[in-house]
Amino acid sequence: MYVFLLKEFLKVMEIDKEKILNFISEKTYRPLKIRELARAMGIDETKYRAFRRMVKELLMEGTVVKLKKNRLGLPEKMNLVVGTLSTNRKGFGFVSAENDKEVFINPQDTNKALHGDRVVVRIKGKRKGENPEGKIIKILERTQRRIVGTYKKQKHFSYIEPDDPRILKAIYVAKEDSKGARLGQKVIAELEDTKDLHLNPQGKVVRILGDSTDPEVQVLSLMAEFGLTDSFPDEVIKETEELKDKIDVKELRRRIDLRGLRCFTIDPYDAKDHDDAVSLEKTKEGNFLLGVHIADVSHYVQKDSKLDQEACRRGTSVYLSDRVVPMLPEKLSNEICSLKPKGDRLALSCILEISPKGKVIKYDLVESVIKSWAKLNYQQVQKFFDTQKSEGDLISLEEDLNLMLNLSKVLYQNRMRSGSLDFDLPEAKVVLGEEGEVLDIYQVARLESHRLIEEFMLLANRTVAKHLTSHRIPLLYRVHEKPEKEKIESFGEFVSHLGYHCDLDDGLTPKQIQKFLKTVQGKPEEELINELLLRSLAKACYQPKNIGHFGLAFKHYTHFTSPIRRYPDLLVHRILKGLINQSLSTQRLLELKNALPEIGKIASEREKTADEAERESLRLKQLEYMERRLGEVYHGIISGVKPFGFWVKLDHILAEGLVHLSSISDDYYIHDPARHQLKGRYTAKVFRLGDKIKVQVAKVDRKNKFIDFVLLKENHPFRKRGKRRKKFAR
């Protein structure tokens, strides 16, 4: 009842705000102060404080702006734009407004605004054929409250140089706010709540991380930069400690008992959070009976509990190169919920009867109790597939695994025939020593054992999505939009310069893309083309509106199989259990409908943050590894071309570095952006995107996070040129 009344109250508040905006939008309106506006609108004195609060909220949102002498007006009427500032390393930026208009901001016009701030911009004019240009005149909100950087000193003041290259302003720190930080140390600073454009950003040190060259400190800095923490609030720990390891007898009795099934987990060798187990039997009719058993995390993480709120805030577990930042405390993720062998575990099971041709004949979704027979890893299972020799925990599961491999191949072929895309992009694995030092980095091979689990999980996710949709239950779908026409056209133009014809038109389908990818299969440029095509496609996200999944060519898709590490899966479990137990009241369905858009937005944003953090974590370890290999020679592929040089991605290690044009002395090279190449003026030698190349490690700068390569002489032979005749003017 309280939640319902609160929502009704908020609706009333929104209507009142709308009335204020409508009044200010009228043609006859002239800018008024708050008190004058209240009188003009006939606001009763008893309601003035609430009215004033609403106006202040509109000002904070940027929907209304203050003009001269504190008078109020709409930004669009005053040639103003409100939006979020995005800057880059060069200093300029763009303000993305709510109406999708992007305003260009010169470095001198960013004032003291930082990347990510919500700002008010005054339009200065329109650049020829481009975005309008503006100047930031007000900061509405500092979205980055904490900044990670290096503590530095000048003669009369101290400051923090931010790690984020998009934050170009130094953060000034008073001596009493330095917390005793020393020169060169990595620190976390909290920005003071000043939005005055005449003052430099100021802050105070809240945590000293340590020496900026220490690998551990670099990872802690990275975590702080992305807002990651592996510690949980006290109230969350308290709730976790109260959870019982032993399953209640009543709970066991009310569930379907599947402890007799031979189910087991297949995960990376170092995994601790096992949230899916599989089983497979043959029926008398010759069909497959596939079981996908998922840890029932929702039994322990109750809706609106502190645990639930924290899991929603985190959105996902983050897998850095040297550690996991979990969504749930370890007692849950690695112990109570993890489907470890030989112990009873609560699960949600998707039981599917599948014909030999891979068609789902029928399915059942049930709350179950299971007991995993074994904990297998991908390499162990692949070794069995390759040799048909079993050992260790795999003994007695040989028949099950062979059946699973056959079924997974059928499911994969069916998916490919439907047009599903399957990008096989390389992934790097970091091997660490006992002291945390990087021993090796290698490219992970994609195995049949990986594909086996992928196919079973895809089928389970798809089945749950179809089931809930058929019952018209509000759901958080995993969706993937059709790619933008301009991006696909740009991709088609690029591959044409590589000698490939890419016939992708307005009626683009996954099958068309799949057909094109087959033409580059096994070619030297395959990996690069796959990566560039993936960048041209939209990023999958979570939302309650089902638009299908373009990449998978699925009409219905959700995430159900990883509730230990993804919040959307945990939410889908709650929804599914509500349907199974017939406990989805009208009120609950209404709550879901209202809550899903925001939860989807948070989950999508946290997934994006996790991806960025994981990439940056790998880069830190690659830099650490390459720093000890100066002078060594590697093979790689040209992964990017610019006027000043080209990037090379090394084979196997996948580290990326730059070959500066200034280091190539055999010719003067001209940049051809259309063909993504550099061409020698006299020798006509070409360095093109996708070319295989041999380089030597020249410099590694861990502080600024870059690697410099130089070409070996065999890549750029010096050609002696004769004297050129002087051309006479005619």
Strand boundaries in 609-655, DSSP class E: 633-642, 645-650
Model pLDDT for residues 56-86, shown as the tens digit of each residue: 888 777 778 777 777 887 776 666 788 888 8
pLDDT at 33 over 90: no
∠502-506-511 over CA atoms, to 5°? 60
Q: Are 375 and 341 in contact (CB under 8 A)?
A: yes
3-class SS at 162? strand
| Lowest-confidence segment of 367-371, 449-453, 477-481, 528-532 by average pLDDT | 528-532
CA dihedral 45, 47, 50, 53 (to 10 degrees): -30
Over 50: is that where the pLDDT of 480 sits?
Answer: yes
Global pTM value: 0.82
Q: Please give the residue that has the higher pLDDT: either 76 or 694.
A: 694
Is residue 452 within 8 Å of 266, Cβ to Cβ? yes
CB 408 within 8 A of CB 294: no
> CA dist 529 to 447, 493, 500, 517, 612, Å?
21, 12, 10, 8, 21
Residue 13's pLDDT band, with cuts at 50, 70 and 90, is: very low
Question: Percentages helix, strand, coil for the chain, rounded to the nearest 5?
Answer: 35, 25, 40
Q: Determine the 3-state secondary structure of 662 from DSSP.
A: helix
Q: How far apart are the first and last CA of the chain?
A: 91
Task: Answer whether 78's CB lies under 8 Å from 65's CB.
Answer: yes
pLDDT given at position 343: 92
Count the neighbouring beta carbons within 10 Å of the beta carbon of residue 283.
Answer: 11
Give residue-wise pLDDT tens across range 629-640.
999 999 999 999
Mean pLDDT (whole number) for 312-334: 95
H or E stretch including 266?
Answer: strand 265-267
| CA-based torsion, 263, 266, 271, 276: positive or negative | negative
Q: How far apart are CA 529 and CA 523, in angstroms?
A: 10
The pLDDT of residue 518? 86
Residue 713 is predicted with a pLDDT of 72
Question: How many whole angstroms separate alpha carbon 294 and alpha carbon 316?
Answer: 17
User: Quick one: three-class SS letters along 171-193?
Assistant: EEECHHHCCCCCCCEEEEEEECC
Q: What's the pLDDT at 536?
A: 85
Cβ atoms 203, 176 nearer than 8 A: no
Closest CA to 163 of 78, 86, 89: 89
**Distance (Å, rounded) from C-alpha 510 to C-alpha 443?**
28
Integer Cα distance of 624 and 198 in angstroms:
41
Ordered by where they begin, the domains of the chain are 2-75 (1.10.10.10), 79-141 (2.40.50.140), 146-212 (2.40.50.700), 235-481+538-617 (no CATH), 629-711 (2.40.50.140)
Point out the least confidently predicted range of 47-61, 249-263, 432-446, 530-544.
47-61
Two structure tokens written together for 72: 């109020």
Query: Taking CA 374 as the corner, what is the angle to CA 369 and CA 378, rounded to the nearest 5 degrees?
Result: 120
pLDDT at 506: 61
